Chains A and B, each alone.
Chain A
Amino acid sequence: MIEIEINGNVVKAKAGEMLIQVTDREGISVPRFCYHKKLSVVASCRMCLVDVEGAPKPQPACSTPVNEGMKVHTQNDKAKASQKAVMEFLLINHPLDCPICDQGGECELQDVAVEYGSDISRFSESKRIVPDGDIGALIQADMTRCIHCTRCVRFGLEIAGMMEMGGTGRGEHLKIEPFLKEGIQSELSGNMIDVCPVGALTSKPFRYELRSWQMHSMPNIARHDLVGSNLFVQTYKGKVKRVVSADNDLINETWISDRDRFSYEGLTHKNRLLEPQIKVQGQWQQVSWKVALDYAVKGLNSHVLKHQKVNQLGGLASSTATMEEFYLLKKILTEVGCDNIDHRLNVKNLDNVITLDSNIKLGALEKIDYALIVGANIRLEQPMINHRLRKATKKGADIDELNVMAFDFNHPLDTKNITAPNKIAPTLAGVLKSIMISNTQELPDYLLAVEVGEVANNIAAKLLNSRSSVIILGEHIINNEDASTIANLITQIAQNTNSKTLNLSITANTMSANWVGFVPQNSGMNVNTMLASDMRGFILLDIYPQYDFHDLETAVKAFTKDDTFVISLNSFKDDIVAGYSNVILPIASVYETSGTQLNINNDMQSYTAAVKAPDEVKPAWKVLKVMADLLALPSFHYADSAQVLAEIFHQPQTKHTHDENVNLTSKHHGISIIWQNSPYSIDAVLRHSNALQKTKIGQMNSAYMNQASAETLGLSADDKYLGVPVVITNTVADDCVFINANQAVNTQGQT
């Protein structure tokens, strides 16, 4: 530590850090526009000029390293003169159209101008006007207001990993604009709105809605991935109007994904389910909660409970539920004596599941020197985790992939290993064997016959040479014939190379489901067994079969049976749900309920409702609690969801049993299908977010396969496969169809 003097006060500082970091820490106000703590320094706006004793000219605080004994004045005549000079220059060509600018009230230029600007402009020439193009569905550009701070340009280059904005022209003709006609497409693009200090880049869905000061800003947690990014939900008269990021360096730093920022739009979609409904003699009736819940409880009693057929009752939930909801549904079921509980709706073979620990913190991910990605398109599946990996590559980390298709990464890959689904386990077995040979360990029997190829040897060498490595397993493996073996091989490889592992085969709030043990109890049935059995009742929490199940037809058939009583808790209207349900209860969606999210780091983050759910809609935890009361179950005395959480803490932690079997005898041949909902279709609220659906990512709807697979399947580029347009590309491995679907139109997984 060194000491410097700022405005006559001695403060401590780290040698070499920039002056503005010291003044920010000390709470000394220095105006700035181009400086952003998470972006590189360009020192171009000149607003932070301060007087450094001994320097002939004023120095920019953002790019002046501190040194012992330095004396700085941030507010003396010299500093103020420079700051005011820059302010005047910034304002001469700025339109000063604050009354019609969406940034008004939260504009850095406006704020700084109050202190450093002049009341009357001396500029009487014509102002600059910059024509705007459409830069996409999420961001509104009004570049006449741009002050050329280049934060958006640097954000694209340094954080999003794709330079979508750039400065063209020079001098006064310098224009910040997207290079590409298709506009801004990054999955993190909305952060440009947050970093833009003026009204040049604003939120398009929020355009002309409200002033910032009219809204309440409530801290909340994002629900669409494994990160649980911190954000502020901004509301007005009980409606969510906008979402912006909140700082949390341990979780999302200062960024959020577009998915987390714009999903709120779905809340007000016309498809929202607003009233309880019961189906009487095939006809839907909108009824009061009392009638609906009575009907539901009566139905449960008459179909299941009264006849001692509780083993023919099942409870299923999607990964979007809160921890409290998973817990309450499980508690209801177990207290009525039902063990048939599951959330793993999209797994074809529940005897072949992935058990893999996640044992690396998000912050540590950016410090790794090697990562092996197996079966994941992380950039689109887990954008904020990918961001950490990208940071690692910027510090020199190598990343290899073992994927069925070459995806667009926004960071360099050392080697792309595009591998057929049935070759992934053998390759990983080769890696393990190579490592064990290097370590001169005795080989287990199952590795004796394994061939070690060049790819395996390369990966093994990198893992062995790495000081801190991570192996990441993604969601493309969940229905792989070797899923369990792949996960177990990864566990062993990690143990033998001191690597960390990250299990991204799950998403949303699945961590919570696992935490409370929302899986078959005792000898209860798993989801696939339930669907194949003669069931008489189901409670379905936020389920839309065409998106959530690997096999739509079997699920719908099971739910539709004449004597099966189905209670559905949903946030959105859905014809298929209406087709099989007997009662539909409208439940709160994101930001409308309190609850808890467990992220990949095991950070348990609770949130309160930012808005009340609309009309008759109720939070699911309340619905479940009242249903329990009506079922006359004791011990459901909760006044709020926090009491539910407190009870969860007192439960014994569910033990996960790991089977460590490695089975390399799988003889799977033929074409494997990997079906994935496209990134903006993974849950109901996202599917109803208009702006997101208009983006390029929102429009992803393709069945990718190589020429050989297309020929085997007798398909050409004009065809559809399982209802999804075929794209023939040599970036897909052999024997594989990789599907990104933004609408489920057919049964998955059947050829």
Chain B
Amino acid sequence: MNEVCFKNLTKDQCWSLKTYEASGGYSVWRKILKGELTPEHIIDELKASGLRGRGGAGFPTGLKWSFMPRHSDGQKYVVCNSDEGEPGTCKDRDILRFNPHAVIEGMAIGGFVMNASVGYNYIRGEFMEPFKRFEGALKEAYEAGLLGQNINNSAINFDLYTHLGAGAYICGEETALLESIEGKKGQPRFKPPFPANVGLFGKPTTINNTESFASVPEIISRGGQWFADIGVENSGGCKLFSVSGHVKSPANFEVPMGIAFKDLLEMAGGIRDGAKLKAVIPGGSSTPVLTADVAMAMTMDYDGIERAGSMLGAGSVIIMDESTCMVEVLTRLAHFYYDESCGQCTPCREGTGWLYRVLKRITDGNGREGDIELLLGVQDKIMGNTICALGDAAAMPVESFLRCFREEFEYYIEHGKSMVKG
């Protein structure tokens, strides 16, 4: 536990350069500056590590880095997505707070591999403390001569900037994030072209999640195979899981991929007040909900969670006990997506509001016969028809809540009140 991103968690001033370097931090970067590592070697190690994008999509990081046209002329960029906004997710915040230098080193390595001399870390607007921590670490890194132009006479340039968001969930979508950095309204771009070809300011750009970048230095330092061996097949390494909800000790846990869900639940102290587990959202609010039985038999890795009928997402595990009214939970989630839709494309702009209004009507006691079919119909029409994944994210919970807990919805519609709360 806590071997990679959280490896210094218990140390004094764990966010400081001193602590980071004392445990081997920046050793990979220094090797690069001395010319001892090649981009190809790093990409090979990343591929061997099985590291998959920790932001939610799970795309293999090594492969992503290899897509960048590193030999093309002109400016290229690396961007870190620290706009952690998915309900249930709080891991990147803690990485920025407790291990900011790993992010800096990971981004610098990425910049070297992809021949990008400029990086941006886009930090969620509400993250004032993490922002200050990261800025502090950035200052330390510059003062230590680890960043800038012609670093240590290596002819390597890497400048890193922090960009604070303004509180829009959609800016966690990578192309909306690029728009936001460019000073525009945060709205996703259609793809193709993909950012690796036309990204920030129209230049080739690679965007990775904070946890992905923070994992890179340790992977290169200890070898891709070492990391892969921590996890299970197809889910290399360890992963941060944010366990929240009705547990005794909600927290972030960095554990090996493939850990049993019930063990993770145990680490969080189990269900509070001796209540029974009712439902689990395993990967953040956009991923399908699971019933207790299914969850308790599940392992926490990409394939394990998929087999159970959901997705690992950003590793944001929301635990709900038997006192939870699923109709009200879904209404709350629907409001979130309704509120956060950028409004650019039709199905999401119009559909999220429709879903929310129908659910709100139900929880107001004015549900009607046919509402369940209507909700299923609307979510189905959003699904797959939008520019970015926010539409799907708004649709998926509706489908899964109605599939797993349909009787609660039927009850609410028929009786005008919650089956659970009465």
Q: Identify the A interface with B (CB < 8 A).
A: 41-47, 49, 56-58, 60, 63, 65, 82, 85-86, 88-90, 92-93, 122-123, 125-126, 147-148, 167, 169-174
Complex interface: chain A residues within 8 A of B344 (CB): 42, 44, 148, 174
A58 touches which of B190, B349, B384, B387 (Cβ 8 Å):
B384
Query: Number of A-B pairs whose CB atoms are under 8 Å?
Result: 99
B374 touches which of A44, A49, A60, A122 (Cβ 8 Å):
A122
B180, chain A: closest CB distance, angstroms:
12
A85 touches which of B192, B340, B342, B347 (Cβ 8 Å):
B347
Q: 10 smallest A-B Cβ distances: which pairs?
A: A174-B343, A85-B381, A89-B350, A171-B341, A43-B190, A125-B357, A57-B384, A172-B353, A171-B343, A44-B345
Interchain CA distance A85-B385 in the complex, whole Å: 8
B261, chain A: closest CB distance, angstroms:
28
Residue on A nearest B193 in the bound complex, by CB: A65
A46 touches which of B342, B346, B361 (Cβ 8 Å):
B346
* Residues A46 and B386 in contact, CB atoms below 8 Å apart: yes
* Residues B349 and A148 in contact, CB atoms below 8 Å apart: yes
Complex interface: chain B residues within 8 A of A63 (CB): 190, 192
* Interface residues in B177-193 (C-beta closer than 8 Å to A): 185, 190, 192
Q: Is B377 in the interface zone, CB < 8 Å from A?
A: yes
Interchain CA distance A56-B342 in the complex, whole Å: 24
* Residues A122 and B377 in contact, CB atoms below 8 Å apart: yes
A85, chain B: closest CB distance, angstroms:
3
* Residues A88 and B381 in contact, CB atoms below 8 Å apart: yes
* Interface residues in B333-379 (C-beta closer than 8 Å to A): 338-347, 349-354, 357-358, 361, 374, 377
Complex interface: chain B residues within 8 A of A57 (CB): 384-385
* Residues A123 and B342 in contact, CB atoms below 8 Å apart: no
A45 touches which of B168, B346, B374, B380 (Cβ 8 Å):
B346
Complex interface: chain A residues within 8 A of B341 (CB): 170-172
Complex interface: chain B residues within 8 A of A43 (CB): 190, 345, 387
A–B complex contacts, Cβ < 8 Å, 16 sampled: A42-B190, A45-B345, A46-B345, A49-B385, A57-B384, A58-B385, A63-B190, A82-B384, A86-B381, A88-B381, A89-B354, A125-B357, A125-B361, A148-B349, A170-B170, A172-B350
A75, chain B: closest CB distance, angstroms:
17
Interchain CA distance A90-B361 in the complex, whole Å: 22
* Residues A92 and B387 in contact, CB atoms below 8 Å apart: no
Q: Given A82-B384, A82-B385, A125-B358, 7 other A-B contacts at CB below 8 A?
A: A43-B345, A89-B351, A125-B361, A126-B357, A170-B340, A170-B343, A171-B353
* Residues A167 and B381 in contact, CB atoms below 8 Å apart: no
A149, chain B: closest CB distance, angstroms:
9
Q: A122-B377, A148-B349 are in contact. Are A171 and B339 (CB under 8 A)?
A: yes
Complex interface: chain A residues within 8 A of B340 (CB): 170-171
Interchain CA distance A46-B385 in the complex, whole Å: 7
Residue on B nearest A168 in the bound complex, by CB: B185
A175, chain B: closest CB distance, angstroms:
9
Residue on B nearest A56 in the bound complex, by CB: B384
Complex interface: chain A residues within 8 A of B377 (CB): 122
* Residues B346 and A47 in contact, CB atoms below 8 Å apart: yes
B371, chain A: closest CB distance, angstroms:
10
Complex interface: chain A residues within 8 A of B168 (CB): 170
> Which among B350, B358, B380 has the greatest number of chain A C-beta atoms within 10 A?
B350
B18, chain A: closest CB distance, angstroms:
43
Residue on A nearest B343 in the bound complex, by CB: A174
* Residues B190 and A60 in contact, CB atoms below 8 Å apart: yes
* Residues B342 and A170 in contact, CB atoms below 8 Å apart: yes
* Interface residues in B129-172 (C-beta closer than 8 Å to A): 168, 170
> Which among B192, B345, B358 has the greatest number of chain A C-beta atoms within 10 A?
B345
* Residues B343 and A93 in contact, CB atoms below 8 Å apart: no
Complex interface: chain A residues within 8 A of B381 (CB): 85-86, 88-89
Complex interface: chain A residues within 8 A of B357 (CB): 125-126
B287, chain A: closest CB distance, angstroms:
18
Interchain CA distance A174-B343 in the complex, whole Å: 6
Interchain CA distance A41-B189 in the complex, whole Å: 10
* Residues A171 and B352 in contact, CB atoms below 8 Å apart: yes
* Interface residues in B277-293 (C-beta closer than 8 Å to A): none
Complex interface: chain B residues within 8 A of A58 (CB): 384-385
* Residues B346 and A89 in contact, CB atoms below 8 Å apart: yes
Interchain CA distance A41-B387 in the complex, whole Å: 13
* Residues A93 and B190 in contact, CB atoms below 8 Å apart: no
* Residues B384 and A92 in contact, CB atoms below 8 Å apart: no
> Which among B185, B338, B349, B374 has the greatest number of chain A C-beta atoms within 10 A?
B349
* Residues A174 and B349 in contact, CB atoms below 8 Å apart: yes
Complex interface: chain B residues within 8 A of A88 (CB): 381
Residue on B nearest A89 in the bound complex, by CB: B350
Complex interface: chain B residues within 8 A of A148 (CB): 343-344, 346, 349
Interchain CA distance A92-B351 in the complex, whole Å: 9
B230, chain A: closest CB distance, angstroms:
31
Complex interface: chain B residues within 8 A of A49 (CB): 385
* Residues B350 and A93 in contact, CB atoms below 8 Å apart: yes
A248, chain B: closest CB distance, angstroms:
31
Interchain CA distance A170-B339 in the complex, whole Å: 8
Interchain CA distance A58-B351 in the complex, whole Å: 17
B381, chain A: closest CB distance, angstroms:
3
B335, chain A: closest CB distance, angstroms:
11
Interchain CA distance A60-B340 in the complex, whole Å: 23
* Residues A92 and B349 in contact, CB atoms below 8 Å apart: no
Residue on B nearest A84 in the bound complex, by CB: B381
* Residues A167 and B185 in contact, CB atoms below 8 Å apart: yes
Complex interface: chain B residues within 8 A of A122 (CB): 374, 377
Interchain CA distance A579-B338 in the complex, whole Å: 70
Interchain CA distance A169-B342 in the complex, whole Å: 8
Complex interface: chain A residues within 8 A of B386 (CB): 46
A270, chain B: closest CB distance, angstroms:
47
Interchain CA distance A89-B380 in the complex, whole Å: 12
A30, chain B: closest CB distance, angstroms:
15
Return the CB mask of B380-408 against A: 1 if under 8 Å, else 0.
11101111000000000000000000000
Complex interface: chain B residues within 8 A of A44 (CB): 190, 344-346, 387
Complex interface: chain A residues within 8 A of B361 (CB): 125
Complex interface: chain A residues within 8 A of B342 (CB): 170-171, 174
Complex interface: chain B residues within 8 A of A93 (CB): 350, 353
* Residues B343 and A169 in contact, CB atoms below 8 Å apart: yes
* Residues B347 and A46 in contact, CB atoms below 8 Å apart: yes
Residue on B nearest A33 in the bound complex, by CB: B346
Interchain CA distance A627-B380 in the complex, whole Å: 76
A109, chain B: closest CB distance, angstroms:
12
* Residues A171 and B338 in contact, CB atoms below 8 Å apart: yes
A223, chain B: closest CB distance, angstroms:
41
Interchain CA distance A167-B341 in the complex, whole Å: 14
Interchain CA distance A586-B353 in the complex, whole Å: 61
Interchain CA distance A173-B352 in the complex, whole Å: 12
Complex interface: chain B residues within 8 A of A90 (CB): 346, 350
Complex interface: chain B residues within 8 A of A170 (CB): 168, 170, 185, 340-343
Interchain CA distance A88-B351 in the complex, whole Å: 9
Residue on B nearest A88 in the bound complex, by CB: B381
Residue on A nearest B347 in the bound complex, by CB: A89
Interchain CA distance A125-B351 in the complex, whole Å: 12
Complex interface: chain A residues within 8 A of B385 (CB): 46, 49, 57-58, 82, 85-86
Interchain CA distance A41-B190 in the complex, whole Å: 9
Residue on B nearest A124 in the bound complex, by CB: B368
Interchain CA distance A49-B380 in the complex, whole Å: 15
* Residues B338 and A172 in contact, CB atoms below 8 Å apart: yes
Interchain CA distance A182-B422 in the complex, whole Å: 56
* Residues B354 and A125 in contact, CB atoms below 8 Å apart: yes
B163, chain A: closest CB distance, angstroms:
19
Interchain CA distance A445-B113 in the complex, whole Å: 64
Interchain CA distance A49-B190 in the complex, whole Å: 13
Residue on A nearest B344 in the bound complex, by CB: A44
A577, chain B: closest CB distance, angstroms:
55
A529, chain B: closest CB distance, angstroms:
61
Residue on B nearest A93 in the bound complex, by CB: B350
Complex interface: chain B residues within 8 A of A173 (CB): 343
Interchain CA distance A49-B384 in the complex, whole Å: 10
